[in-house]
Amino acid sequence: MLAISSELPISNCQLIKSLVITEDEARRQILDKVRPLDKRAVLLAGALECFAAEDYFARLPLPAFDNSAMDGYAVVASSCKKGGRLHLIGEQPAGPDRKLRVRDGEAVRIFTGAMLPQGADAIVMQEDVTRGGVEITLNADVDAGDFVRRRGCDLAEGQMILAKGERIRASTVALLASQGFSEVIVGGKATAAVISTGDELVKPGEQLQPGQIYDSNSVLLNALLLRCGATATAVEHCRDDRQSLGDAIKRGIKNHVLIISGGVSVGEHDLVKEALSQLGAKIEIWRVAVKPGKPFLFGKIGDSFVFGLPGNPVSAFVTFLQFVRPAILRMMGATDLDLPQVPATLAVELTNDGDRPHYIRGRLENEKFTPIGRQESHALFGLSQANALLRVGAGQSLKADEIVSVQIWD
């Protein structure tokens, strides 16, 4: 029988246990270390998924002038009634200002977006008119303001159009362009390297030998980085040996962020922590009380932040979203670092008997959240069917039909 003396130094196992921190603590430590990168000016075409580094205000009202919402005729509403006739005095297309003036009993042929001629206060759409030479007959009643887009009705001059830290979307670049901005000042672009470790990994497209699997984390992490607006400058596979790992890390730390998948757990082939330490990395976090994803690692080596994600695909996915994504967003100047949360009715009863919060993968449809697939960290198919995560706290029980808050990423 093996006797364990109380005088023995603290065991590895105890040491490891004492290092496990909570998710909140991990996030706090990470966000404490990570700073926004220098801002830069980019052309609108390259601004998508960047974050504004300044507040922007409208230089122009929208619309900038009263104009027609229809192809039709500009008229004085008080001089119009159904069946009445109007005399055509000219044409106002979009673009040039023809400086026309409409009086009672007159009409100007007008097109969508064209300036409203002086005196006109309504547009009759061409479908409501019978045209005969230089005369039109009205087939509908006309009210002042009909089909007129008033100056400033959409946006007033000076109104804020984009706040510092806001994500730039397709509609944002369109709005900036409508204001005459050709470029925008945004936060810096985070660059990242991805290293997928594992002797068992084979590149998709190549031949598998017994016991081997295809590397899916490389493309997963590349895709998640793109979704954050970051650039993956290098994505490489690395075998589980100290030399290759050390070399790959040296290449990877030329980036703001280095993400290493696999090899961060406690097995003999999990060499990431050791390789990082040998290169002088400061390991700030190793192991977080979260399921899946407990062996998560965070540290700094040179100027690069290193994230070690467990190799199981669902663990890599969950830890990326919970810890890497907010860090990258902060670097890029984002204000909102959290995944969007939406309320949902839980379809089934759920209990977490474990001692770590569990991120349940599920499908959010018609405001109902239904867990989907095997809730195990290797179960990639279930993850592929899911579009939302539900965090169930340690020891927490949730009833069917309860309203819960779920995180969405798509």
In the complex, which residues of this chain contact ligand AMP (CB under 6 A)?
Answer: 196, 198, 200-201, 213, 215-218, 261-263, 265, 270, 310-313, 378
Tell me which residue of 360, 262, 378, 235 sits closest to 313, measured CA to CA: 378
**Quick one: what does residue 216 bind among ligand AMP, Mg ion, none, with the CB cut-off 5 to 8 Å set by partner type?**
ligand AMP
Residues 386 and 83: their CA atoms lie apart, in Å, by 60
Using rule CB under 5 A, residue 262 touches Mg ion: yes
| Alpha-carbon gap, residue 34 to 25, rounded angstroms | 14
Beta pairing partners, 304: 301
Q: Which residues pair with 342 in a beta bridge?
A: 406
Q: Closest approach of Cβ 175 to ligand AMP, in Å? A: 40
**Single-letter amino acid, residue 177:** A
| Smaller CB separation from ligand AMP, 68 or 261 | 261
313 makes contact with Mg ion (CB under 5 A): no
310 binds Mg ion (CB under 5 A): no
Tokens of 9: 């130094």
| Span from 24-32, 85-93, 111-119, 256-264 in contact with Mg ion (CB under 5 A) | 256-264
Nearest to ligand AMP of 189, 358 (CB atom): 358
CB of 3 vs Mg ion, minimal distance in Å: 35
CA dihedral angle for residue 284, residue 289, residue 293, residue 296, rounded to 10 degrees: 10
The one of ligand AMP, Mg ion, none whose footprint includes residue 310, by CB under 5 to 8 A per kind, is ligand AMP
Which tokens belong to 337? 């670092």
Find the residue with minimal CB distance to ligand AMP: 311
User: Using CA atoms, how far apart are residues 296 and 276, in angstroms rounded to an integer?
Assistant: 14
Q: Which residues of 288-300 are buried (b: 16+ CB within 10 A; e: fewer)?
A: bbbbbbbbbbbbb
Q: Which of Mg ion, ligand AMP, none sits in contact with 200, Cβ below 5 to 8 A by type?
A: ligand AMP
Q: Closest CB to ligand AMP among 68 and 197?
A: 197
- Which amino acid is located at 331 in the chain? M
Region of residue 287 (phi > 0: left; psi between -120 and 50: alpha; otherwise: beta): left
Residue with Cβ nearer Mg ion (16 or 266): 266
> Nearer to Mg ion by C-beta: 43 or 266?
266
- C-beta closer to ligand AMP: residue 265 or 322: 265
Q: Which stretch binds Mg ion (CB under 5 A): 216-224, 262-270, 287-295, 346-354?
A: 262-270
- CB 226 to Mg ion: min, Å: 24
Q: Which is nearer to ligand AMP, 69 or 380 (CB)?
A: 380
Tell me the closest approach of the beta carbon of residue 298 to ligand AMP, in angstroms: 16
Residue 128, binding choice from ligand AMP, Mg ion, none, Cβ under 5 to 8 Å by partner class: none
Instruction: Compute the distance between CA of residue 293 and CA of residue 264 in angstroms, rounded to an integer.
Output: 10
Nearest distance, CB of residue 342 and ligand AMP, angstroms:
29
Contact partner at residue 322 from ligand AMP, Mg ion, none, CB < 5 to 8 Å by partner kind:
none
The least CB distance from residue 327 to ligand AMP, in Å, is 20
Q: How many residues touch Mg ion (CB under 5 A)?
A: 4
- Select from 198, 292, 293, 326 the one that contacts Mg ion (CB under 5 A): 198
In the bound state with ligand AMP, the residue whose beta carbon lies nearer, of 191 and 261, is: 261
φ, ψ for residue 12, nearest 5 deg: -55, -40
Is 117 a binding residue for Mg ion by CB under 5 A? The answer is no
The closest residue (CB) to Mg ion is 262
CB of 227 to Mg ion, least distance (A): 25
CB of 237 to Mg ion, least distance (A): 11
Residue ranges in contact with Mg ion by CB under 5 A: 198, 262-263, 311
